[in-house]
Structure formats: structure tokens, C-alpha cells
Amino acid sequence: MMHHRNTKIIFTIGPATDTPEMLRALIREGVDICRINMAHAPREDLAGIVSRVREAGKDEGRDIAIMVDIKGPEIRTGEVSEPLQLKAGDLLDLACSEDADEQPDVPLVQVNYPGLINDLKEGSSILVDNGLLRFKVLKKTESRLQCEVEIGGKMGSRRHINLPGTHVSLPALTKKDYLDIEFSVAAGVDFFAQSFVREPEDVESFRRVLSEKGSSARIIAKIEDQQAISNLDDIIRASDGLMVARGDLGIECPYEDLPVIQKRAVTTCIRLRKPAIVATHMLESMIENPVPTRAEVSDITYAVAERTDAIMLSGETTVGKFPLDCVRVFKRIAETTEKLDNVATRVPLDLRNPKSKLVRSAARLAEDVDNASVIVFTRAGNLPQTVSSLRPVGTPIFAFTDQPHLVPQMRLIRGVHPFLIDFAEDGETTIQSAFRLLTEHGYVAVGSWAVLITTVLRRKRLVDGLQLRQVDPQE
């Protein structure tokens, strides 16, 4: 029978993977979600990319989900005529207004965020170019920040700025984001990853935009700074899932805190029944090399052992030389690490309503029966998410729905295999359809055990129940 991997794999599409042949190969290897990074992808190409991914899924008989990663607000330096060679102790002015005049012997660099002067205090740290350069604010004026270089180096144009520990007043979405969202909704994407989420209101404002456009796409909040960490639980509650974006997060926070933050984020997502994604620099060396480093293997193993829902490839599959090998590495590590799953390390859930407790009973029963699976029928996706958050050991979850948009969205949920079927008025007819699909495609063997979570109509009332049955399709 088919092997069931729990941890989902996300790849980022780019020049290395945006061909029909490569997309089909990636889907055969088992990728679950295609990410489109709007920081690099032109919005005019979006519809074509989505079409190619959908077509490849149809060719392979397995539709994968599509996630658009919105660039979000960011602070960057302006253009410089030639790179600046800075050394510790040098003075540098950052101008937040084009009217600022350059001082004698002190270089002046423009910044694209006028509110920077209001957000920073004297003594604040400014990190530039992914933390390679560090400045300290010595003095503020109406139009500029007078800084001292603490860590020097070469600074070119349009370098990314991080402000560790500083509350910034940037908007949740930019003009570019609104245009990208419009194109993405028209293309019918399944997820949006929202960059630089700092508080739950950022997600709520994004959700209002999607609601106005009639989109059912789900929102994955990316946590990338200390402000997001301080609001972590509320951000998770407001969103449909979380991405631990370790690039900016690793710059904004002390590096020794990063594994702790990652563990807390994944654990909180499980507890609040939301999917978690661990992303960035997972196989960075494989952009150029055919095998991973030992440290990368350990990093991936740690994420899978935490029982995160998904792990993500970025540059490895956009411009890397070995995109298929990266997916294979993810698979091998995930499948090996998942064998170590045990009930002792499971995150306890606070299940208060009777139906949630019934779902927990179903998951535990399936664990106790050899080679059993859990089968759920859903129109909203909540049931499979709850079963998954219980993290049953060695138990695949088969989720059946009659809602087409739910199938790709459930691909993000750990351990869940989603299917689209028609729901008949007679519940047994629907169950038999599910049994036939599972056995004909090799997901389970005829005669194997399954725990079904069902809702049936009894005397004009809906009644929730469990069924322990052998999978034996009847004609």
C-alpha cells in the first residue's frame, strides 16, 4: 500500500522549476504546495504560472495548492552613485526626506520610509543588508538620523533595513500588494502568505480585503520581527496558519533565540489548531551543491520532529541547480524522522466541546488499531484540522469534501490526504464512494480498518458519531 508522509513540502517556483516538465516531476516527487514569491515574480506573469501549475497537476492526477507570498511593507536604503566603503567608527546620515542636505565629509543615504525618524530613538540599532552592517543612532533631526557605524562593510543601493526591537508604523499592505492581491484573486490562488505581520489587526485588514473581493483563499501570517513574537498567540488566532520566516526573524532576534521561537511557534499552532510552516535557508547549500550539509540535515530533522505541518524550499527551487534533489532530501529526512513520533512528545490540546472530544476519541482509537486510518467528511475543513492537531501516530487522515476550494487548502494540514467527492443524501452511499476511491488508488488495502467520524440525521436532528469499520467497498 501507499506510504503516507505526514510533513508537507512547499516549493517556490522560479526559473529553475517553471517548466511543464519540471512541474510534473516535482508533483510526482510529492510536493504539496507551490509558492509564488511576489517580491520577484511580475504580477503580469501570475496567471500563466498558476495555469501551468494547475495543468501539471491535472496531468499527474494530483492537484497541488498555490500560495502567493505578498511582498509586504519593507524599509530600504535608496540609490547610491557607487558602493560606500564603511568602517567601524565612521559617521553616516540616513535621510528620510529628499530635502535633506549632505553634510561635509559625512555620506548621506536616502531611506524609503519617512516615519523612520519617529519610530527610532537615539541609541537605537539599525541593521542593513541582512545584518551585515550595523549602525547606531547618535542624533535625530527633523529630516535625518545621524548614525555611527558599529559594523562596517560595503553598502550598495536599495539595501534592506531591519530595526530590531523597534515598533514600526508601516501599513500592513502596500499599493503593490493591493495590485498583486487583485491579480492573485483573479487567478484563483488557494493561500496568501502575508509578510511582516506585526499584530492581529494586520491579518484582519487583509481578510477584509479578500472578503470584499469574494475570495475564499486562506491567510498564512509570516512572523519576521520581535513585535510579531510578542503578539504571537493573537496573530495565530487571527490567521489561518503561520510561517516561521527565519530570514528576517534571524536578523531581528538574537540567533540563539531562533530555535526557541520556532519551537514555541509550532507548538502554539498545534495547540490552537492552525497549520505551521518552517521556512528559509533549509537547504541553502544545495542551490549550488548536490548534497546537503550535516547542519542542514539536523535543521530539517528538528523541524519535522517538532511535528510542524510543512517545510519550505525557497532559493533552492527558484534558481538552484538541484530542485528535484532538494525535494527528495526533504522526503527522505521527513519519512525517517516521522518514524520517531511517539505519544509522549505530543502537544496536549485543550478540547472543551463534546464534538472535539469525540474527534480525539477517534484519533486515539485509530492509533490503537493496527494499520488503521481516520476518515472524515467535511465542508469547512475544521474536522481534519482538529484530527491533525492531535498528531495521531502512524495514522493517515483521509478527508473527503464536496467543496472544490477545500481540497488544495487541506494539502497544508499535516498528515491529511484530501479528496473531492459528491456527498449523497444517503450517508452510506458517500462512505462507499470514499472506500472505493481509497482502495482503487492504493491508499489503503481492502479489509483494513478505518475510524469514520460521521454526522447523520436522526429524527430531524444531526447526530455526531464514530464508526469502526473495515474498508470493504460494496458495489
- Catalytically active residues are 35, 76, 222, 280
Strand arrangement of the beta sheet that strand 91-95 belongs to: 75-76, 160-162, 125-128, 133-140, 144-151, 91-95, 108-110
CB neighbour burial string for 45-73, b if at least 16 within 10 angstroms, e if fewer: ebeebbebbbebbeeeeebbbbbbbbbbb
- Burial class for 437, CB neighbours closer than 10 Å (0-12, 13-18, 19+): middle
C-alpha pair distances (Å), 306 with each of 189, 237, 268, 408: 28, 20, 11, 24
Spatial contact of 82 and 208, defined as CB atoms under 8 Å apart: no
Q: Are strands 133-140 and 125-128 parallel, antiparallel or unpaired?
A: antiparallel
Of the candidates 421, 414, 422, 377, the residue with the CA atom closest to the CA atom of residue 396 = 414
User: Which DSSP state fits 422?
Assistant: P
Give the DSSP H/E element, type plus range, for residue 369. Answer: none
Half-sphere exposure of 77 (CA within 13 A, CB side): 26
Q: Which three cell numbers stand for residue 408?
A: 488544495
Of the candidates 52, 64, 4, 1, the residue with the CA atom closest to the CA atom of residue 28 = 64
Q: Which three cell numbers stand for residue 267?
A: 507548538
Q: Which three cell numbers stand for residue 13?
A: 517556483
SS3 of residue 464 by DSSP: strand
Taking every pair of Cα atoms in the chain, the longest distance, rounded to a whole number of angstroms, is: 88
CA atoms 264, 265, 271, 276: torsion sign: negative
Spatial contact of 70 and 222, defined as CB atoms under 8 Å apart: no
Please tell me the distance from the alpha carbon of residue 321 to that of residue 224, in angstroms, as a whole number.
Answer: 28
